[in-house]
Amino acid sequence: MNLILLGAPGAGKGTQAKRLEEAFSIIQLSTGDMLRAEVASGSDLGAEAKKIMEAGALVPDELIIGMISKRIDQDDCKDGFILDGFPRTTPQAEALGEMLEEKNLTLDHVLEIRTDDDAMVARITGRYTCAKCGAGYHDEFQKPAVEGVCDKCGGKEFSRRADDNEETVRSRLKAYHDQTSPIIAFYGDKGVCKAVDGMASIDDVTKQLKEAIGG
Ligand code: ADP
Ligand code: AMP
């Protein structure tokens, strides 16, 4: 099963992708995570992406399309994948369609996590992850059971993203509305897009997504 999770920055795509990964044994492909790994590795692609990401703008389509196409060919994607943060523009959505056709793959679900912009600033500025295993947390909305200790791996070090500040969030929300939201209609016209209420609790959103997928 191959699916796309659509939604504004902070909507809960990463949080839900990790839960769907476990529930359906398919892999999360986050273009944001891939780009952050490129930045950390000091590659040419990372150097090009870094400033753009810090400004809250979108990295050029051709870089992203090439990166995701290579990633989908890897062995761990053969049972299915969850696209998180891709596609983000109409040209990316069109390229994905062509790519899947060439690779003889199907797109089974496009799921939009619908949220209110006003709530996204608090979600993003309070977000942090375990530095060891990448599990996601929030200062208020998703605290670990024991303060300062990761529920998943026991790690005690956490990190926050460079672009998770209020100013950048506003640019990222604008980029979402200007450049990404048109692809909801693109998939709507094809009859494959379903929306869930992303303002509900994390558990409830998972339930809605599983129902939409039919599992
Ligand atoms: P995205 O990947 O869409 O940018 P995340 O999944 O990283 O968003 O979620 C952003 C932050 O909001 C995280 O800290 C997460 O714990 C929190 N969060 C996610 N979903 C919800 C929700 N339904 N209610 C409250 N907080 C949430
Ligand atoms: P995310 O982790 O999805 O919030 O993405 C973080 C940043 O990475 C975005 O603000 C963009 O600068 C960049 N990025 C991630 N995915 C894409 C994409 N599909 N197209 C263009 N830029 C992207």
Q: What is the pLDDT of residues 129-141, one digit of tens each?
A: 999 999 999 999 9
Is the CB of residue 205 less than 8 Å from the CB of residue 12? yes
Q: What is the pLDDT of residues 146-170, one digit of tens each?
A: 999 999 999 999 999 999 999 999 9
Q: Kindly calculate the radius of gyration of the chain based on its CA atoms and give it in whole angstroms.
A: 17
**Ligand 2 in contact with 127 (CB < 6 A)?**
no
Is the CB of residue 161 less than 8 Å from the CB of residue 32? no
Give the number of C-alpha atoms closer than 13 A to the C-alpha of residue 178, restricted to the C-beta side: 9
CA gap 88, 92 in Å, rounded? 6
The two tokens of residue 119 are 């709530």
Given ligand 2 and candidates 53, 169, 183, which is best to mutate, with the most ligand atoms within 8 Å of its CB? 53
Strands (E), 78-125: 81-84, 109-114
- 170 is annotated as an active-site residue: no
- 19 is annotated as an active-site residue: no
- 13 is annotated as an active-site residue: yes
**Ligand 2 in contact with 18 (CB < 6 A)?**
no
Catalytic residue among 19, 50, 88, 123: 88
Catalytic residue among 161, 170, 194, 210: 161
Under DSSP, the state recorded for 74 is S
Nearest CA-CA partner of 131 in 104, 162, 160, 93: 160
SS3 4: strand
**Stretch 86-104: mean pLDDT, rounded?**
97
Ligand 2 atom nearest to 36, measured from its CA: 8
Residue 182 has pLDDT above 90, yes or no: yes
Q: What is the pLDDT of residues 28-70, one digit of tens each?
A: 999 999 999 999 999 999 999 999 999 999 999 999 999 999 9
The whole-model pTM stands at 0.97
The ligand that comes nearest to the alpha carbon of residue 34 is 2
